[in-house]
């Protein structure tokens, strides 16, 4: 069901320092920061030959990653995102196997304008998993 690794998201306490490290030390192609007010994050995309790294920083008062950064003050891997062809079908299969989809259980439009859902980390090897329809 899952296809390519779309991105690995890393929550960072200092977005410009993180972007500078990926650009200047790791020598990667790094985007300008993009504010996503609807999602409560500012993102920088790092393009790698086979996938992306998404650097995430909280935006606004009730950012969904604020709590994560309070617990992980140096930053850390926040989620991994796998591609699926049909997210509705994926959601049905996951529900049938007892996995919990976060929120109301329905796919919503994610940070890249495509339908996504998130699985409860306790149901997925302790890792927050995002599925994105491509």
**Does 44 sit near Co ion (CB under 5 A)?**
no
**Does 55 sit near Co ion (CB under 5 A)?**
no
Catalytic residue list contains 83? no
Q: How far apart are CA 19 and CA 28, in angstroms?
A: 9
Q: Which of 15, 55, 65, 81 binds Co ion (CB under 5 A)?
A: 81
**Does 87 sit near Co ion (CB under 5 A)?**
no
Give the number of residues in contact with Co ion, rule: CB under 5 A: 3
Residues near 112 by beta carbon (within 8 Å), at least 6 away in sequence: 132
Least distance in Å: CB of 29 to Co ion? 18
Q: What is the dihedral of CA 93, 5, 134, 30, to 10 degrees?
A: 150
**Does 130 sit near Co ion (CB under 5 A)?**
yes
Least distance in Å: CB of 68 to Co ion? 13
**Does 9 sit near Co ion (CB under 5 A)?**
yes
- 21, 75 contact by CB (below 8 A): no
Q: How far apart are CA 37 and CA 56, in angstroms?
A: 12
Residues at the site binding Co ion, with contacts judged by CB under 5 A: 9, 81, 130
């Amino acid at each position: 069901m899952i296809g390519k690794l779309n991105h690995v998201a890393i929550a960072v306490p200092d977005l410009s320092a993180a972007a500078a490290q990926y650009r200047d030390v790791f020598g990667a192609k790094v985007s300008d920061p993009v504010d996503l007010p609807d999602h409560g994050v500012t993102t920088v995309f790092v393009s790698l030959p086979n996938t992306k790294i998404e650097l995430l920083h909280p935006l606004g008062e009730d950012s969904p990653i604020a709590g994560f950064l309070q617990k992980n003050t140096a930053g850390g891997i926040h989620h991994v995102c796998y591609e699926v062809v049909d997210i509705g079908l994926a959601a049905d299969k996951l529900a049938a196997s007892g996995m919990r989809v976060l929120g109301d259980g329905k796919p919503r439009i994610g940070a890249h304008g495509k339908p996504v859902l998130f699985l409860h980390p306790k149901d997925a090897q302790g890792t927050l998993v995002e599925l994105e329809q491509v």
